[in-house]
Amino acid sequence: MRKKRFLLLLFLTLSFGAKAFISVPPHDRKITLKLTNVSMEVFLDAMKKQTELNFLYNAETFRGVPYISVEVKNEKWNSVLNKVLASRGYEYVVKNDIVVIRLKQKTDNGYVRGVVLDDRGEPLIGSTIIVKRRNDRDLYAITNSEGTFSFIAGGNEESISASYIGYEKEILKFKTGKFDYKFQLRSDNQLTEVVVTGIFNKPKVSFTGAATIISKEEIKASGNRNLLQTISHIDPSFDVQEQNATGSNPNASLNIEIRGTASIGSVQELQTNVRNVRNLPLFILDGFEVTSERVMDMNQADVESVVILKDASATAIYGSRGSNGVVVITSVKPETGKLRVSYTAGLNLEIPDLSSYNLMNSFEKLELEKIADLYTSTDFTTQLKLNELYNDNLTSANAGVNTDWIHKPVQTGVGQYHKIDIGGGNDQFRYILNMSYNQLTGAMKGSKRDNVNGGMTISYLLKKVRFTNNLNLGINKGESSPYGLFAKYVTMNPYLRPYDDNGEPFVSYTTFGSSLLYNPLYDAAQTSFSTNDYTNIRNTTMLDLDIMKDLRLNLSIGFTNQKGGTDQFTSPKQSSYLQLNAEATSAGSYYQKRDEQSSYQFSLTTSYAKILGEHSLFFGVNGQLMETQTNSTIVQVRGFVNDQMTDISNGISYYGEKPSTTESTVRSVGLTGTLNYNYAGRYFFDASYRVDGASSFGSLSRYAPFYSLGLGWAFGSEKFVKKIFPFINSGKFRYSYGVTGSLSFEPYQALTTYEYNTTSQYTGLIGASILGYGNPNLKWQNTIQHNWGIDLSLFNNRLMINANFYRKSTDNLLTDSYLSLSHGYSSYKENIGLIRNTGYDMQASVLVLKAMNNTLNLYLRGGLSHNKNVLVKLSDAIKRANELYSGQNYSGGTISEYREGHSVDDLYVLQSPGVDPQSGEVLYLNDDGTVTTSHADLKKISVGSSQPKINGRIGSSLHWRGLNLDFIFGFRLGAKKLNLTLLNVENSVAKNNSDRRVLVTRWQKPGDITGFKSIKSTDSTNPNNRFVFTEKTLTLSNVNLSYDFPRNWIKRFNMERLSFVTSMSDLFYWSNIEMQRGTDYPYSIKPTFSLTCTF
Amino acid sequence: MKKIIYLILGILPFCTSCDDWLTVEPKALSSKDKIFESESGYSDALIGLYLEMQNIYKPSNFMVGGNIENMANNYMINEGTSIAYYLYKHDYAKTDVDNVLGSVFLSYYKVIANANVLLEALKVQNVLSEQMAKDIEGEALAIRAYMHFELLRLWGPVPTAVNASSLYLPYVSVASTDPYEYISYDKYVSKISTDLLRAEELLLDVDPLLKHSNSEMNTTWASQSDYSTLFWYSRQKRCNIYAVKGLLARFNLWIGDKQKAYDYAKEVLDAKNLNGLSKFTLGSRQDFSSTNYVFFSEHLFGLSITEFSSYDNNLAFIGRYASLVNSQTNINAKLYEYQSDLRQSLFISTYSYSFGATVWGTKKYTSMTTTDYSSPKSIPLIRLSEMFLILIETAPLSEANQYYATFRAAREAAYTPLTDSNRNLLVLKEYIKEFWSEGQSFFAYKRLDWPVLLMSNMSMNESNYILPIPADELGNYK
């Protein structure tokens, strides 16, 4: 009731305020009055007339007040008023020259209330209130779940202070008659105050781990296409590795590593993408594990914050899942307020960037072919045919045919984006509903990825119980381009016409040799397709309980189900079938894969926080229970008679024998305890312990312990530091040590399993034999990590530096272990081997400019990371398997190897001192230093790691009123790269089109001194150190410009907010290595425009 | 504080049942623990051993018609760098050869490893009937011993030149990933003997062949009231009691115990059905009419095969690309000495591209395709004829000649009595003729430490007869 009236008064006050006009200071007004038996209203009216002040009151409150009589002469108006009001239980206050009359409020022995808020206006729960009293002991209180406190005032109070870990203490003077105190604590550094670890929320100030915290605003300023890329734009230690082949393919999965490779698979796996899967960080969304693909597809506008946990102190609470690093994503939380509707519409473009291609034109290509003797033969009839071919090609060239093949399969992809958010609620009930549609259209014709995301979050916030439910839906559909590999178009000869006179693509061309050259555009015009899709439903329910003071309990239950699959249809008219003269019963194929994954998780957390004077303690226990089931079925059929009938049911027979299924169920439990102690805000101690049990561990080592210890010293808060280095605002040293694990093995490898022989029977009986020895001792890989860190904030918080140095050793590496043949099986899984990663990461930000009343800000930000990876010890089985690969060479790229003492990422190539100027042959260097022209039996050498020595970011952001401009540059230094384009120039079979450098750089006649072998050579040069370069690359990863329209301007349209954002990704790429980028799928420049309005 | 304690106490019971919950059974596979929960699981694991043996004994694989016959020089070969040629020359040092021998070595131990997992499970089982348990254990032990014996015949010493202090091979009777111990010849053979004798003892109680004839048990449905499941049938294609006795005869002959070899061979030869007819009889020309080129009535132990396609057969034994062949002249001159013999009818003449000549290949395995319904489809592992040859070799001369006469008559060949001086040579020749493309010739040469291979006149010494332990078994890697 009181509150409502107050609001009403305030409203009236504001509306009267403008009319008030007072020429004499009101306190000096003296009045003379004589009134008998009048109502309060009449009295006040008389006062108003004489003082010319505005009086504001609610007449209702005077009901029942007896009539009054007043007689004064030349007295001060306020003393008159006071006299009349005080005796009748009223008082007055003067606000904006308006005299407000109200019922007298209790002061003595009344309740004093207060609220403690953080700098974002959110209540701070559990903050300490100390009330200093005259001649009495201090009074202590703790804020409750709404951030409020209250105490009964005794009249001797002097001051009230509020403090909370990670915030600056605020002291307010106690004023008699003031009952509401509002504290808004400033966090004591400018970083966000809490580290959300996904299980416990730890106070940032005493956190001893290495973590990068990315706020919603940063995501907005650097965001473009997907969240994974955005994170890597901000923090270089979240390393999205460059994949030159896949370019900007929207459907390509990304390779991500944090602090290097810690798990290896077999040598065969090393050649494929499987190794990467083993090293992916763990993604936690609102407390529950999600796949990296899901993160890629989720809407980044729905993200409140992202925390990258890197060291053991931060990740030990994830135990056996933590050693690859953990990325904790928190989705937006509903806020109070009236119903808000916000709508964003966007347009995104993918403009193919083919600037790295420098191909020959028709005449150049013909010249090359001639020089390479492609048109000469010793056989007479062949020579006649070749003459004819040359004439045809020359005629075409002369007629102006110079087909720009590489532009045929590409387009400017135009996609759209729509998002609608509805949110609001009051103190008790809040909600968000959102729905978005994001259509990405790739730079290669026909490739696209569509995402629909929907979410619904509701929260009930009661005094001791808080309930939140979050339901999410993600629907994805990806389509690959029917145009196939981009590389095919690069090799097509420019003098060939792509289409006939009717505009239909030619099927094939006659060219050198007996086989036909098929037109990739013909294949693109067929009915083949390749699609991926999935539907993901996720529900999480969270219940928070305040059991008692300082003790909280959180129960959460999560469930995820994802169904999806892959469909690939190859038309029977596809050139590959024409080439083979395939029979109708085998031409055309359909591959269908159906996947289902469902998982659930229960999590129970209790946390206890207590502050006693200078000591503050945080203690948490968490129990988790998880199950994940996956199932996938593959069906392949072939023999499609009609290429228009593309349904799988039109296939004639199974391809292979039968459909195949893979299945797995993994269960795990985890119990975690964490302790955080902070003394005087200067000395910190952090410890975590977790026991993990998982069904995939061997039965003899079912439970795994993980732990971490951390120490911190906020030296910046020491008095002597403040004295000697006054420019230090805050500074902290951190050290942590811990053991985490990774589960990089198949779920059933610990078991000895029998497999039934389903293809043959034995005298009518079925048989089964073991797949290999299970290893009941099989356990997780242990990663022991040391992390040294420093956080600094200098010069009035204008410069902030945050650096970490780490050493990470992964022991018990899970690999194939060698078994002597007498065991009947040549290998089994065991924990042998050691990988070490050492490195550092660093981030700094500078406030360069702060002017015009803080409306103009310019920040510069930078970050860099370095990682060195060494395979310290390997199992015999790995070494044996590696022997196979160390002897192999492949002209299309390097073959990865595992060698002790080297990095997983090392490039192994042959040594070549150059090209023999006399013969134009490639020279190779033997181990003993002798030079040879044959590459048989040569040993490859390591030329260094293909990972950059330094991976960095430099960015700037400029804010001026509603205008924000952000730039992010990325740079990579020191990686060894094989320039495949140059190798292709050397290897280019003159039949195919290739980089222009072929013509000018290849050896043509004796005496030519050049780095490239004879143009006539047809044998292939294997990767060698002539083509390995040290990379220096600079990219302009993102430019983002946004403008928030001024509020008073948009108010006219009943809008609360209107903003316009435009951003460009991958705008610019400069590298000292000139090579073709995006060989299978081109890179693209990605501009995005979007407009958001909120009502 | 009390509340916290209650809370922790509340969580505890929830944790004790974790172990059960954390044990997850795969669905597409069956874990060791799960398969041995039922009777059928034991049967499946036993049959698995035979299916694994097919990898070694398929007709064109190493141990039947493949390289083991090249090592005996029974086939002709083009000079070159093929693995077959190196084996023909007994040059075992090449890496490729080492790989091939290594995979044979591995295959044997794979059967052994599977047998050991089964035998370990049998020790603690409580789901099988006594009869079933005895039979499965008997067959598994016999197979384990058989495989070890084969390893000894290949990688072990010439039996007449054993070095008592040498450690030859591991005899594996546990399933473990720890390194296995290499043991001396004496220990090794005594372990084979122990396993075979134990198998004999077990099977003597339960083998249906003791009561029933082969023809009664070689049906494709349960036709005998006392054996109601298919498990008990087709005994000739299982390591039955007579297979064990035959193996004991072969094994004792190898280790030089002629008396025991004689006894076991005789026991098999004399084995009678209840109606008084012999359990196993020598084959005849009539068998050919039902595409039975392998003399199935002689099989003490044959390995069942579902499919040896005509395509495989054409590449191996009889087509234009066949390589497991020899010239008609060579076979006639060196083996049959131009005398007529039933076994000559088992050859087919065909022109070979790779040799540029007309050659002879065996047709023993031509009738093993899925569509050939009358063929027994049994790969011969131990035959009655070998029992005859053991008796001929070990019996007193006059008795031996009786067996020899019977045997020669059955093979439609002329009979000339053996003498003490030519007995070994003639028996050896019978081995080559009898077991052409069955993988036994090399062992006959090796057992007798014969100085020359008859089909090629290549001279042999002890080292040619002993295979080197494969590199992957020794495992020295950088």
Instruction: State pLDDT tens for residues B104-160.
Output: 999 999 999 999 999 999 999 999 999 999 999 999 999 999 999 999 999 999 999
Which of A277-281, A674-678, B177-181 is the least confident region? Answer: A277-281
Cβ proximity of A808 and A258 under 8 Å: no
- Inter-chain touch A769–B114, beta carbons under 8 Å: yes
* Residue found under tokens 């008084």: B276
Q: Is the dihedral of CA A649, A655, A661, A662 positive or negative?
A: negative
What pLDDT does A271 receive?
A: 66
Contact between B246 and B278 under an 8 Å Cβ cutoff? The reply is no
Reported as a single tens digit per residue, the pLDDT across B364-403 is 998 888 778 788 899 999 999 999 999 999 999 999 999 9
Q: Are strands B326-327 and A827-831 parallel, antiparallel or unpaired?
A: unpaired
A428 touching B (Cβ < 8 Å): no
Whole-number average pLDDT of chain B: 90
Spell out which residues of chain A touch residue B477, defining contact as CB-CB under 8 Å: 818, 876, 879-880, 883
Asked if the Cβ–Cβ distance from B117 to A770 is below 8 Å, we say yes
Judged against a pLDDT cut of 50, whether residue A353 lies above it is answered with yes
Give the pLDDT confidence score for residue B57 in this predicted structure: 93
Which residue in the set B24, B172, B304 is minimally distant from A667, CB to CB? B24
**Using CA atoms, how far apart are residues A273 and A439, in angstroms rounded to an integer?**
27
Closest alpha carbon to A484 in A441, A532, A444, A439? A444
Cα A751 to Cα A902: distance, rounded to the nearest angstrom: 33
Q: Which residues of B touch A665 (CB under 8 A)?
A: 24, 26-27
Torsion of CA A523, A525, A529, A535, to 10 degrees: 140
CB proximity A547 to B under 8 Å = yes
Distances (CA, A) of A732 to A200, A594, A963: 22, 51, 34
Q: Higher model confidence: residue B427 or residue A141?
A: B427
For residue B156, the model assigns a pLDDT of 95
Residue A916 vs residue B258, higher pLDDT? B258
- Min CA distance, A227 vs chain B (Å)? 34
CA separation for the pair A780, A658 (Å, rounded): 35
pLDDT by residue (tens digit) across A1028-1082? 889 999 998 889 898 888 877 888 888 888 888 888 888 888 888 888 888 889 9
CA dihedral A982, A988, A992, A996 (to 10 degrees): 40
DSSP string for residues in A670-705: EEEEEEEEEETTTEEEEEEEEEEEETTS-GGG-EEE
Closest C-alpha among A179, A171, A158 to residue A109: A179
**Residue B35 is nearest to which of A604, A748, A768, comparing CB atoms?**
A768
Contacts of A753 in chain B (CB under 8 A): 26, 29-32
The answer, yes or no, to whether residue A871 has pLDDT greater than 50, is yes
CA distance A414 to A424: 34
- Four-CA torsion B93, B95, B100, B101, nearest 10 degrees: 40
Q: Which of B39, B106, B368 should be substituted to probe chain A, the one whose Cβ sees the most A Cβ atoms within 10 Å?
A: B106
- Residue whose entry in the numeric block shows the structure tokens 């249809």: A569
**Better-predicted residue by pLDDT, A25 or A283:** A283
CA distance A619 to A606: 8
Partners of residue A754 in chain B, C-beta under 8 Å: 29-32, 35, 44-45, 48
Chain A contact set for B177 (CB, 8 A): 773, 775, 817, 819, 823, 828, 830
ipTM of the complex: 0.90
Cβ–Cβ of B26/A664 closer than 8 Å?
yes
Q: Tell me, what's the pLDDT at A747? A: 65
- How far away is chain A from the Cα of B355, in angstroms, using its nearest Cα? 31
Chain segment B36-86, per-residue pLDDT in tens = 988 999 999 999 999 999 989 999 889 998 899 999 999 999 998 899 999
- B50 — contact with chain A (CB < 8 Å)? yes
pLDDT at B233 over 60: yes
Per the model's pLDDT, the better-predicted residue between A718 and B90 turns out to be: B90
Q: C-alpha distances in angstroms, A115 versus A153, A165, A174, A549, B108?
A: 16, 16, 14, 17, 80
What does the alpha-carbon distance between residue A1065 and residue A226 come to, in Å, rounded to a whole number? 11
Helices and strands in chain A, H and E counts: 19, 57
Q: What is the pLDDT of residue A188?
A: 59
Helix (H) or strand (E) holding B116: helix B95-123
Query: Cβ of B49 and A666 within 8 Å?
Result: no
- Residue A274 scores a pLDDT above 70: no
* Between A622 and A262, the higher pLDDT residue: A622
Per-residue model confidence (pLDDT) at position A663 = 84
- The Cα–Cα gap between A995 and A1012 comes to 13
Task: Give residue for tokens 């002017």.
Answer: A851
Judged by DSSP in three states, A976 sits in: strand
Q: How far is it, in rounded angstroms, from Cα A1075 to Cα A244?
A: 10
- Residue-wise over A660-676: b if at least 16 C-beta within 10 A, else e? eeebbbbbbbbbbbbbb
What is the count of residue pairs from A and B with beta carbons less than 8 Å apart? Answer: 188
Q: What is the mean pLDDT of chain A?
A: 83
Model confidence pLDDT, tens digit, residues A934-955: 777 788 888 888 888 999 999 9
CB A893 within 8 A of CB A978: yes
B18, B172, B306 ranked by CB distance to A822: nearest:
B172
Tokens of A373: 């003797």
Within 10 angstroms of residue B319's Cβ, the number of other Cβ atoms is 19
A604 at interface of B, judged by CB pairs closer than 8 A: yes
- What's the confidence (pLDDT) of residue B112? 96
- Indicate the helix (H) or strand (E) that contains A230: helix A227-234
pLDDT at position A1076: 85
Interchain proximity A768–B112, CB inside 8 Å: no
Answer positive or negative: Cα dihedral of A759, A764, A766, A769: negative
| Helix/strand number for chain B, H first, E second | 21, 10
Identify whether the C-beta of residue A383 lies closer than 8 Å to the C-beta of residue A478. no
Residue A1: pLDDT band (50, 70, 90) is: very low
Q: Is A578 helix (H, G, I), strand (E, B) or coil?
A: helix
Q: Region B396-419: what's the mean pLDDT?
A: 95
Indicate yes or no: CB of B22 within 8 angstroms of CB of A668. Answer: yes
Q: How close A276 gets to chain B, by Cα (Å)?
A: 25
- pLDDT at residue number B2: 57
SS3 track for A308-324 = EECCHHHHHHHHHHCCC
B80 to chain A, any CB pair closer than 8 A? The answer is: no
Q: pLDDT tens, A563-613?
A: 999 999 999 888 888 877 777 778 889 999 999 999 999 999 988 887 777
The pLDDT value recorded for residue A83 is: 79
- Which of A762, A819, A876, A884 is the best mutation test for B, with the most CBs of B within 10 A? A762
Say yes or no to pLDDT of A358 above 90.
no
Q: Where residue A193 falls among pLDDT bands split at 50, 70, 90?
A: low
CB–CB contact A757 B48 (8 Å): yes
Contact A754 B29 (CB under 8 A): yes
What digits encode the pLDDT tens for the residues B334-368?
999 999 999 999 999 988 888 888 999 999 998 88
CA distance B392 to chain A (A): 34
Give the helix/strand (H/E) hosting A790.
Answer: strand A781-794
The whole-number average pLDDT for the span A381-406 is 89
Q: Which long-range contacts (CB under 8 A, 24 or more apart) does A1008-1015 make?
A: A1008/A917, A1008/A920, A1009/A917, A1010/A915, A1010/A917, A1011/A914, A1011/A915, A1012/A915, A1012/A985, A1012/A986, A1013/A915, A1013/A920, A1013/A921, A1013/A922, A1013/A986, A1014/A915, A1014/A919, A1014/A920, A1014/A921, A1015/A368, A1015/A371, A1015/A372, A1015/A920, A1015/A990
Instruction: Give the minimum alpha-carbon distance from B89 to chain A in angstroms, rounded to a whole number.
Output: 25
pLDDT of A2 reads 44
Q: Does position A88 have pLDDT exceeding 80, yes or no? A: no
Amino acid B460: pLDDT: 94
Query: CA angle at residue B241 from B239 to B247, to 5 degrees?
Result: 70
Task: Give, for A986, the enclosing helix (H) or strand (E).
Answer: helix A980-987
Nearest CA in chain A to B229: A765
> With pLDDT > 70 as the criterion, what percentage of chain A qualifies?
93
User: CA-to-CA distance for B300 and A1033, rounded, in angstroms?
Assistant: 75
pLDDT at residue B444 above 90?
Answer: yes
- For A642-661, the pLDDT digits (tens) are 888 888 888 888 887 778 88
The answer, for B237 touching chain A at a CB cutoff of 8 Å, is yes
Q: What pLDDT digit, counting tens, does each position of A200-254 carry?
A: 877 777 788 888 888 888 888 876 678 888 888 888 888 888 888 888 888 888 8
Q: Do A767 and B51 touch (CB under 8 A)?
A: yes
Mean pLDDT of A961-978: 89
Q: What percent of chain A has pLDDT over 90?
A: 17
More confident residue, A380 or A698: A380
CB contact under 8 A, A669 and B113: no
Contact between chains at A753 and B475 (C-beta distance less than 8 A): no
**Helix, strand, coil % (nearest 5) of chain B?**
55, 10, 40
- Between A635 and B313, the more confident residue is A635
Range B304-310 average pLDDT: 84
What is the secondary structure of A164-206 as a DSSP string?
A: -TTB--EEEE--TT--EEEEEPPBSSSS-SEEE-SS-EEEGGG
Kindly state whether A751 is in contact with chain B, defined as any CB-CB distance less than 8 angstroms.
Answer: yes
Q: Tell me which residues of chain A, numbers 803 to 832, contact chain B at a CB-CB cutoff of 8 Å.
A: 817-826, 828, 830
Among B31, B237, B477, whose Cβ lies nearest the Cβ of A752? B31
Q: Is the pLDDT of residue A68 over 60?
A: yes
Residue percentage of chain B with pLDDT more than 90: 71
Show which of residues 389-448 on chain B sit within 8 Å of chain A, judged by CB atoms. Answer: none
pLDDT tens, position by position, A31-59 = 888 888 888 888 888 888 887 778 888 77
Q: In this complex, do A755 and B29 lie within 8 Å of one another by their Cβ atoms?
A: yes
A619 CB within 8 Å of a chain B CB: no
Confidence (pLDDT) at A44? 84
Whether the predicted pLDDT of B5 surpasses 80: no
Rg of chain A in Å (alpha carbons): 37
CA A717 from chain centre, in angstroms, equals 33
**Model confidence pLDDT, tens digit, residues B181-204:** 999 999 999 999 999 999 999 999
* Residue scoring higher pLDDT (B234 or A222): B234
